[in-house]
Amino acid sequence: MEKLISIYFDIPAWRPGTVGAYSLAFVSFVLAMALRFAIDPYLMGGVQFITFYPAVIVTTLLSGFGAGLFCAALSLAGSMYFLLQPHWSFYILVEDPGNAVLLLLFIVIILSNVILITGLRYSVERFKEHGEKEHLLMREINHRAKNMLSLVHAIARQTAARGPEDFVERFTNRVQALAANQDLLVRNEWRGVDMDDLVRAQLAHFADLVGPRIMIHGPKLRLNAAAAQAMVSQYTSLRPMPGNTERSRQRGVASILAGGPSATLSP
C-alpha cells in the first residue's frame, strides 16, 4: 500500500467531478492524438491506440473514474474517426475485420484499466483517510490524557493541603468521583452531560437511598465536558466519605451544586 500511495496525487483542481478533472481528460486526449499523428510514420500495424493508454491511465489516476471514462470515450471516438479506415468517418469497413477486432480489444483493455485504477485509487484514499483519522485520534487521546493527569495532580494537591491524616481515603474518593464522571462523558460521546445524571453518578454509592431518603431536585441543566469536570472537582471537595453516612446525616446534605440540582438527605 505504501508503494501505491507514492504514486497517488491529490491535486484539488483535478479532483473527481470537477471541471478541472474533465478538462484534464480532454487535454490528455488531445495530447495523445497529437503524439499519435506525430509518430504515425514510424508505427507498424496493430498499435494504432498506443498513445491513448497512458492518457487514460494518467487521467484516471489523477481525476478518478468519471474523467478517466470521458478520456476513454474521446480516445475511442477519435481513433475511429481519424485513425481507422476509412478516415474522417465512424464507419468501420466490413471487409477489414482486423480493425473491428483491434477496436474491440482496445475497448476491453481501456475499460479494464479505468476500473482497475479507480479501485486502486479508492483503496488508497480510504487508507489515507484511515491514517488521518488514526493520527487525529491519537492526538486527541494524548491531549485528553494530559488534561486528566493535570486534573488528578490538582486534586492531589488540593486534598493534601487539607491535612495528611486521611489523605489516601479522601484522594481515592475524589479519583473515583472523577472516574464516574469520565464514564458518563464517554457514554455521551463527550457532548456534555445533564446535571441530574452527573449528581446521580456521584451518588452511586448511595444508590439504595436515592428516592426513599435522598431527594434530587433543581433546574434541568446541561454541562459541556469541561464544565462537568470542573463541577466534579468542586463537588468532591464537599462530598462525604462513602463509609461516613452518619456525618452526612448530621449535615443533612449529600451534595450541594451551586446553581444546579441539590440532593438532600432526610433523617
pLDDT, tens digit, 9 for 90 and up, residues 166-179 = 788 777 877 777 78
Q: Determine if the pTM surpasses 0.75.
A: no
pLDDT, tens digit, 9 for 90 and up, residues 207-244 = 666 666 677 777 777 878 777 767 666 665 555 444 44
Contact between 21 and 63 (Cβ < 8 Å): yes
Residue 68 has pLDDT above 90, yes or no: yes
Residue whose C-alpha cell reads 459541556 in the numeric block: 224
Cα 190 to Cα 137: distance, rounded to the nearest angstrom: 14
- In this predicted structure, what is the pLDDT of residue 250? 37
Please enumerate in sequence order all residues whose Cβ is within 8 A of that of 159, keeping only pairs 6 or more positions apart, or say none. Answer: 167, 170, 171, 174
Contact between 1 and 127 (Cβ < 8 Å): yes
Give residue 34's pLDDT band: very low, low, confident or very high (50, 70, 90). Answer: very high
Instruction: Retrieve residue 93's grid coordinates.
Output: 469497413
- The residue type found at 196 is D
Q: What is the mean pLDDT of residues 127-153?
A: 83
Please enumerate in sequence order all residues whose Cβ is within 8 A of that of 195, keeping only pairs 6 or more positions apart, or say none. Answer: 218, 220, 221, 222, 223, 231, 257, 260, 261
